[in-house]
Amino acid sequence: MEKLLIKGAEIIDPANNIQERLDLLVADGVIAQKAPVIEVEDARVIDAAGLICAPGLVDMHVHLRDPGFTHKEDIESGCCAAAAGGVTSLACMPNTMPVCDNPDVVSDIVARSKNARARVYPVAAITKSQEGRELADFAALKSAGAVAVSDDGRPVPSADVMLKAMELADTHGLKVLSHSEELSLARGGIMNEGEVSRALGVKGIPKAAEDVGVARDIALAISTGLPVHICHISTRASIELLRAASKLGIPVTGETAPHYFVFTDEILKSKDADYRMNPPLRTREDVNAVIEGIVDGTISAIATDHAPHAPFEKEDFIKAPNGCIGMETSLAAGITFLVKKGYITISKLISLMSTQPARILGIPGGTLSEGALADIVLFDPDEKWVVKPDELHGKSKNTPFKGMTLEGRVKATILGGRIVFGNGKII
């Protein structure tokens, strides 16, 4: 493997509290050295003047749709999208066909991801077939390579089953990632319940559906002292609940996604299903609360909930499945709507999108420490670009950022010392 010498970049490494113009040397797939000036004769030199060099992004919430729904995405195409977005590690959700609820499926994903352009960490199902009743074999799933468990796409309906899952997951060193939602309140709605849903005459999902689910899972963590991670937080009340739990020292973490700090349900007036997801886009009050939660540290991670769907599946506003893609736009969305607006620093954004997700999952990554895996993103924080769906690298094009001008563009992604994206192309 060739040596890489990245020269003149601004190194941002939140794990080591570094933000400094340095050279960085990669050798044998790891970070070999960081110093003001490095001279090595046998290295490939990357002129990174004007760029930021940061640990590769860690997206802890991705739907690769593989196995079973590969017309939407597969491991290869999903990892190409990841590389184009600066994502070097991703956790893939279990709502596949068959469901990732047994060691054979986990092992298959691990084996087929071996040469992918991102590190793929399987998240296995909490319950068999994601039916919410019988727990999967956590010991076998862990042994096969799962890093966490979740029934994402469906909540675990029973508090008793969720409690048992938290206890068993803790025993086997697995993180529980919770889709916290009370389905009896959601009642088959397709967007946020409010003025816009009523104006459109469509069934809405009340905020209470999320809030009640979040409250239940936090209550379980309080009563047991066991950790739980709340996925895709979108409401003001859920953030307040998470904030209160954090102040009490409860081991609860939470994530949000870029679409929840950018868009409101007003955009659904277009009846464009690319803006339909679950949880749904909420109100301006909720968007402001999400941003506040990011600013004050209540929210621990920004993930994408990357959810590809084929164009024909998104044609009908009412019948379309929920979800949007996000890995190629997440860094730029964070820069555009959080950093450039003065809410957070670029270092905090990298921490939310790389360092902290790696810590939550307990996986390598999120740091440029010497000896660490050379998983690196180089990006221009000021370059403006227009999101053109046809130019994205995954199979599906259902991005809510289509046609928007974003700031911050990935120029190169390095995985284990190998350049997997550069000059706008997958390598």
Q: For 206-233, what is the mean pLDDT?
A: 98
Q: What percent of the chain has pLDDT over 70?
A: 100
Q: What is the pLDDT of residue 135?
A: 98
User: Average pLDDT, whole number, for the chain?
Assistant: 98
Q: What is the pLDDT of residue 58?
A: 99
- Judge whether residue 163 has pLDDT over 90: yes
Length reported for the chain: 427
| Angle CA 124–130–131, to nearest 5 | 155
Supply the pTM of this predicted model: 0.98
Would you place residue 14 in the very low, low, confident or very high pLDDT band (cuts 50, 70, 90)?
Answer: very high
Q: What is the pLDDT of residue 309?
A: 98
Residue 306 tokens read as 């990357």
Q: What percent of the chain has pLDDT over 90?
A: 100
Q: Which fold has domain 3-53+373-386+403-426?
A: Urease, subunit C; domain 1 (2.30.40)
Q: What letter does residue 313 receive in the DSSP assignment?
A: G
Residues 58 and 372 sit within 8 Å (Cβ to Cβ): no
Which residue ranges make up each domain of the chain?
3-53+373-386+403-426, 56-361
Residues 117 and 79 sit within 8 Å (Cβ to Cβ): yes
Q: List, by residue number, the catalytic residues.
A: 305
User: In this structure, is the dihedral angle defined by the CA atoms of residues 405, 406, 408 and 414, taken in order, positive or negative?
Assistant: negative
List, for residues 322-348, the tens digit of each pLDDT value: 999 999 999 999 999 999 999 999 999
List, for residues 181-210, the tens digit of each pLDDT value: 999 999 999 999 999 999 999 999 999 999
Residue 339 tokens read as 């950093």
- Judge whether residue 155 has pLDDT over 90: yes
What CATH number labels 56-361?
A: 3.20.20.140
Q: What is the pLDDT of residue 1?
A: 84
- Judge whether residue 262 has pLDDT over 90: yes
List, for residues 287-305, the tens digit of each pLDDT value: 999 999 999 999 999 999 9
3-state secondary structure 107-137: HHHHHHCCCCCCEEEEEECCEHHHCCCCECC
Alpha helices, DSSP H only, in 14-148? 75-84, 103-112, 138-144
Would you place residue 97 in the very low, low, confident or very high pLDDT band (cuts 50, 70, 90)?
Answer: very high
Q: What is the pLDDT of residue 389?
A: 98
Cβ-defined contacts of 317-323 (< 8 Å, 24+): 317/271, 317/272, 317/273, 317/276, 318/190, 318/202, 320/273, 320/276, 322/190, 322/276, 322/277, 322/278, 322/280, 323/63, 323/276, 323/277, 323/278, 323/398
Q: For 26-39, what is the mean pLDDT?
A: 98
